[in-house]
């Protein structure tokens, strides 16, 4: 029976154009979604845009347009980026959609019915940029902890009784140790909650660009209560409860570390108060810098993912972003480093292995998968070692515990998976150099040459299958050159019984990972 897997990006504010941070977050979710599909799971992958709040209202006014028109224009840029980056999201939600307004209204009514919302007056520090309230003790040099300016706000407001949830949240974290990842972020959240929680203002009257509070339309819902509810909306809440019950709770909310508090403190409290299950995990990743400098508009060093792809190619960009930094840590974008990774790891290692292998098969084996007896081949120690490394033989590995690749993906250790795949390619190139199939033919040892080339071709097949979540188009090209049918590319087909069939005709090979040359555009 298929397992369901529901993964979400944060929904992105439409007060600005997409940048490398948005691309990075969604890419990580795309890799996880594709990985789970290849495992045979029933995946639902959500992304979208957050379109309410004072910040959006102000940005629209600054541009001289109405908020909805502004949102329509900017939201489309995020949708276009998703297509451009080849993300495989199943839904794209906008918080201005009728289905979302209905879900927010229902959640509010449940919170109110359960006695967790009350009307009072709010007085405190508010950051328009962060769409967040801050206590006096949190301010640093008169600004929010994020560096954003704050303003003193006094107005009538509805409140959520967050102060009552401290104990229940700590109990929830204790019972679900993997709810917040990585571990360092979990410790930060627990420390914050233990420091004491205050009731949270969940409505505003100073602007109108938001979802009206049911029964009191003078108020609009606080943008984070509105925004977080998108995860319920897309799952089918409240109109399609059979679908909702199938998808919810979400398996993973992927977020930047700057919005962890909203997802790991406010969100589970809202859900528990509404008698709804909490998500299974929240993962907070780090931020990127550019050549060692913090990325900011004022410095003019914002990284445009579209320009990155136009220069280096889509799959090369996807590979670099997942390979370069242990996920969860902050990372630095370096153009020189990116060129090194593309040329060394993709062109010279993985690409070189595939091109050498397939070219030799084309030249020496009449363009067909070499004739071998696979059972005999597996008795050859050198071939066995390489194929055991390349073939994640799930039936064998699961007898002794969880597959290594599975363990890495659950911890979002993308760089480790790519490191392991790269090592297989390194070993494959060493295998070629050591056994020199071109010499074997000259010496008349055709049987051994066939065994060497078959081992290498099967290794390339396994590498290509495992690369699919990261580099879907490039992996597809590799598998096409091995004439692997489209319905035989899931992880199930890494098992040895699905190895390449001797005698299968192969097309003339062509390079999949060209070296990067200055001045060439790859897109």
Taking Cα atoms as reference points, which of 367, 365, 350 lies closest to residue 451? Answer: 365
User: Which residues, listed in sequence order, are joined to residue 284 by a DSSP beta bridge?
Assistant: 255
Looking at residue 410, its pLDDT comes to 79
Tens digit of each residue's pLDDT (9 = 90 or more) over 85-114: 999 999 999 999 999 999 999 999 999 999
Residue 231 pLDDT greater than 60, yes or no = yes
**Reported confidence tier of residue 520, pLDDT bands at 50, 70, 90:** low
Cβ-contact 203, 157 below 8 angstroms? yes
| Residue 476 to residues 38, 423, 467, Cα–Cα distance (Å) | 13, 20, 9
With left for phi above 0 and alpha for psi between -120 and 50, is residue 171 left, alpha or beta? alpha
Going through 205-338 in order, the beta strands assigned E by DSSP cover 212-213, 216-221, 252-256, 282-285, 288-290, 293-294, 331-333
* Of the candidate ranges 7-16, 39-48, 269-278, the one whose mean pLDDT is the lowest: 7-16
Q: Is residue 167 predicted with pLDDT exceeding 70? A: yes
Average pLDDT value for residue range 351-375: 95
Measure the CA angle with vertex 199, ends 197 and 201; round to 5°. 130
Q: How many CA atoms, within 13 angstroms, populate the side-chain half-sphere of residue 219? A: 24
Mapping DSSP to helix (H, G, I), strand (E, B) and coil, where does residue 313 land?
coil
Q: Is the pLDDT of residue 305 over 50?
A: yes
- Highest mean pLDDT, choosing among 138-152, 231-245, 367-381: 231-245
Establish how many alpha carbons lie within 13 A of residue 453's alpha carbon, considering only the half-sphere containing its beta carbon.
33
Q: Whole-angstrom Cα distance, residue 478 to residue 467?
A: 10
Owner of token pair 């929680």: 197
- Residue whose C-alpha is closest to residue 412's, from 266, 251, 268: 251
pTM of the model: 0.91
Most confidently modeled of 241-250, 427-436, 487-496? 241-250
For 498, other C-beta atoms within 10 Å of its C-beta total 15
d(CA 471, CA 27): 11
Q: What is the rounded CA–CA span in Å between residue 88 and residue 45?
A: 7
Instruction: Please tell me the predicted confidence (pLDDT) of residue 390.
Output: 76
CA distances to 13, 42, 310, 465, 493 from 200, rounded to whole Å, are: 21, 36, 45, 48, 51
pLDDT (0 to 100) of residue 399 = 41
Q: How far is CA 383 from CA 362, 448, 461, 515, in A?
A: 21, 11, 15, 29
Segment 368-411, tens digit of pLDDT: 999 999 888 888 888 888 887 776 544 444 444 455 567 788 78
Q: What is the pLDDT of residue 467?
A: 96
Residue 139 gets the label, from left (phi > 0), alpha (psi -120 to 50) or beta, of beta
For the cut 60, the answer to whether the pLDDT of residue 492 exceeds it is yes
Span 197-222, pLDDT tens digits:
999 999 999 889 999 999 999 999 98
| Tokens standing for residue 289 | 């810098």
- Region of poorest pLDDT, from 45-49, 103-107, 515-519: 515-519
Cβ pair 522, 312 in contact under 8 A: yes
How far apart CA 24 and CA 317 sit, in angstroms, is 10
Question: Percentage of residues in the chain with pLDDT exceeding 70?
Answer: 95
Question: What are the φ/ψ torsions at residue 464 (nearest 5 degrees)?
Answer: -65, -40
**pLDDT (tens digit, 9 = 90+) per residue, 440-471?**
989 999 999 999 999 999 999 999 999 999 99
Domains of the chain: 335-498 (1.10.730.10)
Would you state the pLDDT for residue 398?
42
> Cα 23 to chain center, whole Å?
9
Token pair 């490398």 in the structure block, residue? 20
Tokens of 135: 């206590």
What's the sign of the alpha-carbon dihedral 113, 114, 116, 118? positive
234 phi-psi bin (left φ>0, alpha ψ -120 to 50, beta other): alpha
pLDDT of 280 reads 97
Average pLDDT over residues 139-144: 91
Beta-sheet pairing, 151-160 with 132-134: unpaired
**Phi and psi angles of residue 296, each rounded to the nearest 5 degrees, phi first:** -155, 155
CA 425 to chain centre: 25
């Amino acid at each position: 029976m298929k397992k369901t897997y529901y993964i979400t990006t944060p929904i992105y504010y439409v007060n600005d154009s997409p940048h490398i941070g948005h691309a990075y977050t969604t890419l990580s979710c795309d890799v996880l979604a594709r990985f789970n599909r290849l495992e045979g799971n029933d995946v639902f992958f959500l992304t979208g845009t957050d379109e309410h709040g004072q910040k959006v209202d102000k940005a629209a006014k600054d541009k001289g347009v109405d908020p909805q028109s502004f949102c329509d224009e900017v939201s489309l840029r995020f949708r276009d980026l998703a297509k451009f980056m080849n993300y495989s999201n199943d839904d794209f939600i906008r918080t201005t959609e009728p289905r979302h307004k209905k879900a927010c209204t229902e959640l509010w009514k449940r919170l109110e019915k359960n006695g967790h919302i009350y009307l009072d007056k709010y007085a405190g520090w508010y950051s328009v940029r962060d769409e967040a309230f801050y206590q006096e003790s949190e301010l640093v040099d008169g600004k929010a902890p994020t560096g954003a300016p704050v303003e003193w706000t006094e107005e009538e407001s509805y409140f959520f009784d967050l102060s009552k949830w401290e104990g229940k949240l700590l109990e929830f974290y204790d019972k679900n140790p993997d709810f917040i990842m990585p571990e360092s972020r979990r410790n930060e959240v627990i420390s914050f909650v233990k420091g004491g929680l205050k009731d949270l203002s969940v409505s505003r009257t100073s602007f109108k660009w938001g979802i009206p509070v049911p029964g009191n339309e003078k108020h609009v819902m606080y943008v984070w209560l509105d925004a977080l509810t998108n995860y319920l909306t897309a799952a089918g809440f409240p109109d399609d409860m059979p679908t909702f019950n199938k998808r919810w709770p979400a398996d993973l909310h992927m977020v930047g570390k700057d919005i962890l508090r909203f997802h790991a403190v406010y969100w589970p409290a809202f859900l528990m108060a509404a008698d709804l299950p909490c998500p299974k995990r929240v993962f907070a990743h780090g931020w990127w810098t550019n050549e060692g400098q913090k990325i900011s508009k004022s410095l003019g060093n914002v990284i445009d993912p579209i320009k990155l792809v136009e220069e280096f190619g889509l799959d090369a960009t996807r590979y670099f972003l997942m390979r370069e930094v242990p996920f969860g840590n902050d990372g630095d974008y370096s153009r020189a480093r990116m060129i090194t990774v593309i040329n060394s790891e993709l062109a010279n290692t993985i690409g070189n292995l595939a091109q050498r292998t397939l070219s030799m098969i084309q030249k020496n084996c009449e363009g067909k998968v070499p004739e071998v007896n696979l059972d005999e081949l597996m008795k050859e120690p050198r071939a066995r070692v390489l194929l055991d490394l390349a073939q994640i033989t799930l039936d064998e590995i699961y007898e002794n515990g969880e597959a290594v690749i599975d363990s890495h993906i659950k911890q979002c250790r993308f760089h480790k998976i790519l490191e392991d795949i790269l090592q297989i390619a390194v070993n494959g190139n060493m295998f070629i150099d050591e056994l020199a199939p071109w010499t074997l033919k000259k010496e008349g040892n055709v049987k051994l040459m066939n065994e060497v080339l078959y081992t290498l071709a099967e290794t390339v097949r396994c590498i290509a299958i495992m690369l699919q979540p990261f580099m879907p188009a490039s992996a597809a090209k590799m598998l096409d050159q091995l004439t692997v049918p489209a319905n035989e590319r899931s992880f199930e087909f890494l098992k040895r019984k699905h190895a390449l069939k001797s005698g299968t005709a192969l097309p003339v090979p062509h390079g999949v990972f060209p070296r990067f040359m200055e001045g060439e555009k790859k897109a």
